[in-house]
Structure 1
Amino acid sequence: MKRLHVLIVVLATVAVGVFLVTVPTFREFFDLGVYRGAVRSWLLDGGALYDYLYQDTQYGFTYPPFAALVLSPLALTSWPVAVGLSILANALAVALLLRWFLVPVVRRHHWPVPFVCALGFLAVLVFEPARDSFSFGQVNLALLALVCADLRGLLAGRRWAGVGIGLACAIKLTPAVFIGYLLVTRQYRAAAVATGTAAGATLLAFILAPATSAQFWLGALWDTGRVGRLEYVSNQSLRGVAARLDLPSAWWLAAAAFVLAAWFLRVRRGGRPDHVAGFAVTGVVACLISPVTWVHHLVWLLPALFLLLDAALRAGSRRALAAPAAVYVVLSSSVVWLWWAGADGLPAALGSNTYVWVSLGLLFAVPFRAAVAPGPLARADAG
């Protein structure tokens, strides 16, 4: 990079670093503590995985048993090492997302790749769902990278396309909506690979830990109280909206059905499927229809934001850039936390659900193309 670029990146890094360590919503790697404590209790102390509660809170391990197997090395690490590994894994996931979604756009415009990607990395760190993923020690960025690796495989016609989605589903149930996408767009081989991978990983966990698997699939999975209060402002899903507004469950089901219908119509549009936009919209839908979508789960919106940015740059006007810029600013603002203690009235109803309204907007705003032109994750860049 040029000296001026290096200076800008250094100054931006210092500013972002100061912001991240002083922002009031720094999460102290809470979820990482849950993961590590649960697998240590399970593997080293002989406790039941789903009976563990972290530091006398109500929060315990909520993922399938295969996730516990994947996270089991944490049982042998010290806390600083666990934190370091978590930061490294999330940083690697962000780097991969930038390589797949941003670098092709940067090259198309003949901009300096290291400079723009360095600023892009810092921008992702400021993005609230991503910074929460880092400070919670969460796994969603890694799962997003797994799913997007399958997108690359699908674009390139790779026979293994579907493995990443299957592994992500075995670790956490929400990515199963991407198998639905593969079925809707008639990508039957990839759907079969994803389903078989998820089933195989789940079966492996059952063979290695039958009692724990039975405890999860027959009990813990159905205990909604384990994940927290549905009305809590961090739950930025349609179910969270219904809970905060005290609406009947029928409202949530009707809203979810509407979202799924809109998603179906968008991804099944005529002509060759645009898998890049299809995956981006599916990530948005996953956040909307899930009963619980904590703010850090909204990293699944990142592909949609990359596509909005790409479309704005293609339009070649500052006015077009206003939309992705506004979405980024709102989703980085922590605005929903103004109502963390709850409130009544129209301002609260609108403000406490801001990220849901943004997600609904992205569902319809992500641009589809009949044939994917060179850009984020285009086939020419899939090698």
Structure 2
Amino acid sequence: MACGVLIALSGALAAFIFNAVYARGWIDLEVYREGGAAVLQRTSVYDLIVGENRLKFTYSPFAAMLFTPLALVGMEVSVALWVLISILALEAVIWILIGRTAVKSRSRRTTHTLLVVIAILPLYPVTLTLWNGQIGIILLLAIIVDLTHGKKKWRGIGTGIVAGIKLTPLIFIPYLLVTRRFRAALMAGLGFLGTVILGFLLLPADSRDYWGGAFFDTQRVVAGQDADFFNQSLRGMLMLMTGSWPAVPLWLALCAVVGTGGLLVAAWTAKKAGELAGITACAIVGLLVSPVSWPHHWVWCIPLLVLWAQRAQRVDVTLEKVGVGVLWFIFFLPGYIALATLLIYPSHAGMWLMSLTGSYVLSGFLALLALAVYFGRIDWRQRRHGLGDA
């Protein structure tokens, strides 16, 4: 109990400091509030134009209904509560990840959790999630709890509901099928379908607009820009690199290869390294093949870093420890440099900046490749020894 109170108080303190430092921002949270307000006022959610950046509501009608409580309180209260909940969710994720190791003392586990949170908070995807008032860390926690700690007969339904809020977690349904957890895949599908049906029952016009094509309109997400330096997906990189090339067919071909191969690697990872590792690998696949993956979508760098750090400590290999440090640096500095360049010196945004902004895509791809090579070598050695024994 004391450990939980300490973590909660630390989260409250971190939220207070964050609000004090970042007095402006919260552009996505403002969109959430306006979406909730549109539901209450019975106006079209998908006709909204919010703020100076002229942002549109890109989530499902079900998500808009969930955001209605935000419209009942002021923006200041919404910001304070949202940042606090997000930081508590971050602490909960780290607590679960730390629990994989042999940390038996709750006080020691609490200390480790808080130290890791301090190391994770400065990472650009995490800071940007908090600054924009994004929902990513909360959804990350929901998926991890559902697929690793939920009751077996209900496992998957929480992930399906999360996918009903934000579509990218749909990648976990084929992952569950590949790992032969058919009941969990079915529950995820039913959970997702339930959110769609609820949307049509309560917001039929908005549901027709969204599922009739708005959900696939990337122009709503990128605010009219086909190529964006901040789109950390395969499509985003191709749009910057290809110029006049046929980017869409190439993107679809890459998605087929990376998606299929990546899901097999994720299933392999789950079998060899545990469920949390498999979930993380699957999430990386989803980020790569998604049409748009903003830097704040890459909060899945949190379990990636923590799990790798735990392995590096366990095997005590210097090269792996250096690798963890390099990965932490990649998710820390390049995003801030890219943001500062585009805001202060936009004329300097050239190919070198693209290499910075593409670092997430490269890191995710290399992580999947490394997992495939590593487990492939293990299986090859086992087969070779088996043949030798025979």
TM-score bucket of the superposed structures, by smaller chain: 0.7 to 0.9
- Counterpart for residue 294 of structure 1: 294
User: Partner letter of residue 69 of structure 1?
Assistant: M
CA distance in 2, matches of 1:237, 1:272: 26
Contact 1:106 1:112 (C-alpha < 8 Å) held by counterparts? no
- Counterpart for residue 337 of structure 1: 339
CA distance in 1, matches of 2:270, 2:91: 32
2:36 paired with 1:39? yes
2:370 paired with 1:361? no
Alignment of 1:202-351 (within 5 A): 202-228=196-222, 229-245=225-241, 246=243, 247=245, 248-269=247-268, 272=271, 274-333=274-333, 334=335, 335-337=337-339, 340=342, 341=346, 347-351=352-356
Deviation (angstroms), 1:103:
3.5
2:195 paired with 1:196? no
CA distance in 2, matches of 1:67, 1:152: 24
Residue deviations 1:149-178 (CA, integer Å, cap 9, x gap)? 122137xx6211012101111101000001
- Counterpart for residue 81 of structure 1: 77
Q: SS at the partner of 2:293?
A: coil
Contact 2:125 2:299 (C-alpha < 8 Å) held by counterparts? yes
How many correspondences in the alignment?
Answer: 355
CA distance in 1, matches of 2:375, 2:163: 28
CA distance in 1, matches of 2:251, 2:24: 29
Contact 2:233 2:361 (C-alpha < 8 Å) held by counterparts? yes
CA distance in 1, matches of 2:269, 2:35: 48
Structure 2 CA distance for partners of 1:56 and 1:196, relative to 1, 3 Å:
same
- Counterpart for residue 113 of structure 2: 117
Residue deviations 1:185-221 (CA, integer Å, cap 9, x gap)? 1100000111101111221121111111111111422
Higher helix share: 2
Alignment of 1:46-57 (within 5 A): 46-57=42-53
Contact 1:132 1:296 (C-alpha < 8 Å) held by counterparts? yes
Structure 2 CA distance for partners of 1:271 and 1:193, relative to 1, 3 Å:
closer
| Paired-residue identity, % | 30
Q: SS at the partner of 1:231?
A: coil
CA distance in 1, matches of 2:351, 2:358: 11
Contact 1:230 1:239 (C-alpha < 8 Å) held by counterparts? no
User: Partner letter of residue 108 of structure 2?
Assistant: P
Larger RCO, structures 1/2 (Cα 8 Å, 6+ apart):
1
Structure 2 CA distance for partners of 1:54 and 1:106, relative to 1, 3 Å:
farther
Deviation larger for 342-351 or 254-263 = 342-351
User: Partner letter of residue 300 of structure 1?
Assistant: W
CA distance in 1, matches of 2:236, 2:131: 23
Alignment of 1:91-102 (within 5 A): 91-102=87-98
CA distance in 1, matches of 2:80, 2:19: 16
CA distance in 1, matches of 2:267, 2:28: 37
Structure 1 length as normaliser, TM-score?
0.83
CA distance in 2, matches of 1:259, 1:140: 23
User: Partner letter of residue 32 of structure 2?
Assistant: Y
Where does structure 2 lack aligned partners over 5 or more consecutive residues?
A: 1-5, 377-390
Alignment of 1:124-139 (within 5 A): 124-139=120-135
Structure 2 CA distance for partners of 1:343 and 1:188, relative to 1, 3 Å:
farther
Structure 2 CA distance for partners of 1:107 and 1:207, relative to 1, 3 Å:
same
Q: CA RMSD for the aligned pairs?
A: 3.0
Structure 2 length as normaliser, TM-score?
0.82
- Counterpart for residue 375 of structure 1: none
